[in-house]
Chains A and B, each alone.
With several copies, the nearest count.
Chain A
């Protein structure tokens, strides 16, 4: 069976259903999907919109590495990752990660690992635009080169 893994940077709205469906192999019965979206309020402050920027070729390489590592560490069939870039309005989807696996447990574990690692390693940055200013958000975690 050819792999149905995919990893993409998107500049138009992401449809969760279509991401979740693209990872489905005929012998699996369940998909776990994490979707992140633009919060209206962060620590009580209202966000007007967000802007995501990426170091695009490196972001795609890092996403591909995460997918490779997930296949080593978890018994899963297919993975789909789509991250939105550019300006996003409140409520829009910023990231979708879908994992299909023969057994649910591995799909949950892999999806949780993938979002944690994506937030730590994939070179994408978020700028929050508030009524009274804007701010580049800095991640909390370091990355150790391999």
Chain B
């Protein structure tokens, strides 16, 4: 099981701030994002950044049980 977090725009578009996911072996953030975009097509036009365990990762990183996955739009602090 892994936890997926959403922030800002992604949280608003998905209507949730987190969800628990049961994933197949070798699942990647890209797989999860594909499902999310299918379920919430409003995400499609946005560039979505990905973090695992509070670190930026490439979309094809393999996920492990217990990981904290996060999806969010390009940051705009400052």
| A residues lining the B interface (CB < 8 Å) | 36, 52-55, 57-59, 61, 83, 94-95, 115, 118-127, 136-146
Contact = CB atoms under 8 A, between A and B. Distances in A.
A123 B78 contact: no
B44 interface: no
Give the interface size class of chain B. 20 to 34
Interface string B49-73: 1010011111000000000001011
Instruction: Summarize A's interface: helix, strand, loop or mixed.
Output: mixed
A125 B78 CA distance: 9
Contacts, number: 90
A96 to B, nearest CB: 11
13 contacts: A53-B7, A57-B54, A119-B77, A121-B75, A123-B7, A123-B75, A125-B75, A125-B77, A126-B76, A138-B9, A138-B73, A139-B74, A140-B74
Given A94-B78, A124-B76, A146 B7 contact: no
Nearest to B11: A53
Contacts of A123: 7, 49, 51, 70, 72, 75, 77
